Amino acid sequence: MDGGAPDLAGLLERIAADVAPLIGSGTPAEYIPALAEVDPRHFGMAIADLDGNVHGVGDWRVPFSAQSITKVFALALALAEGGDSLWRRVGREPSGNPFNSLVQLEHENGIPRNPFINAGALVVTDRLQTLTGDASSELLEFLRAESGNPDVSFDAEVAASEHEHGDRNAALAHFMASYGNIDNPVPALLDHYFWQCSIAMSCADLARAGLFLARHGLRADGSRLLTRSEAKQVNAVMLTCGTYDAAGEFAYRVGLPGKSGVGGGIVAVVPGRCALAVWSPGLDSRGNSVAGVAALDRFTTLTGLSVF
């Protein structure tokens, strides 16, 4: 990291070479057609330093569907806008169950375990909607600003596809509403949620957008989004809950706060140092990018930059 561009370029090339045999293994998400059609041979990786300089390898400038990665940005905005009263409505414990489980929700009376399972993300979006009046637009503006890329945008086809296959999320939202844990009308909430999931970004965009977590809360323009303590907290929730029910495995192998999406992307943070993004569509059985996790594993092994 400290050696500047030449070394970083070499590091990224080496990681890309190391994980090349894994690219194309795993299975792209199949629950919506718009994701199932993506070419599984993509691979890209980008690193952004604290000043916003980005280096990349492979398809690091190709936009893909960010999906659940957007949940970490929505969480940060909801905390920034509304403070920690959010935690009365959503927990911060890892879930032992798959990411869209209703079992847990029922055992805990409509309070999702954490903000990164789908139920928890719906609560976060509901809160952001109440706070801002337009949750998905607010999020999009933030991502454009932090990535420095005004072309970051919703993908209408993906959003429509999510909507069409949205019965599971509708079930989650109605179920929480039955416990009084949803403030906005369910159909409107689902619309914002599906738009949020559809946002398309590249590794370069995502690495830059994640820098406020490496900068202990400071945005690209130097203004403060989160207090140092809040930034620590978001990183902690990412580490313990950011990769579905494989968070323990991700911590064990990679040892960094990270948030994955079923589009095959992962954002990771080295507090005080840099932010990374990686993308390859083939997923393992728990919904995380096979080549993406391996690339981050190589990164922390080669650099020693794990938090542990």
Give buried/exposed letters for 98-129 (b at 16+ CB in 10 A, else e). Answer: ebebeebbeeeebbbbbbbbbbbbbbbbbbbb
Residue 30 or residue 134: which is nearer to a second copy going by CB? 30
68 given a catalytic annotation: yes
Name 270's bridge partners.
Answer: 274
Q: Active-site residue among 65, 68, 95, 202?
A: 68
DSSP H or E segment with residue 293: helix 290-303
Residue 41 or residue 168: which is nearer to a second copy going by CB? 168
Rounded to a whole number of angstroms, the minimum distance from the CB of residue 290 to a second copy is 18
Rounded to a whole number of angstroms, the minimum distance from the CB of residue 212 to a second copy is 13
Burial group, residue 285, by CB count within 10 angstroms (0-12, 13-18, 19+): exposed
| Residue 30 neighbours by CB under 8 Å, 6+ apart | 36
244 given a catalytic annotation: yes
Q: Active-site residue among 71, 90, 234, 269?
A: 71
Q: Which two tokens stand for residue 300?
A: 């922390």
Residue 10 or residue 179: which is nearer to a second copy going by CB? 179
Residue 269: what are its φ and ψ, rounded to 5°?
-125, 130
Indicate left, alpha or beta for 31 from its phi (over 0: left) and psi (-120 to 50: alpha): alpha
19 is in an annotated binding site: no
Rounded to a whole number of angstroms, the minimum distance from the CB of residue 115 to a second copy is 11
Contacts to a second copy by CB under 8 A: 91-97, 101-107, 113-114, 165, 167-168, 170-175, 177-178, 186, 228-229, 231-233, 235-237, 239-241, 245-249, 251-252, 255, 257, 271, 301, 304, 306-308
* Residues with catalytic function: 68, 71, 193, 244, 262
Binding residues for substrate are 68, 118, 162, 169, 193, 244, 262
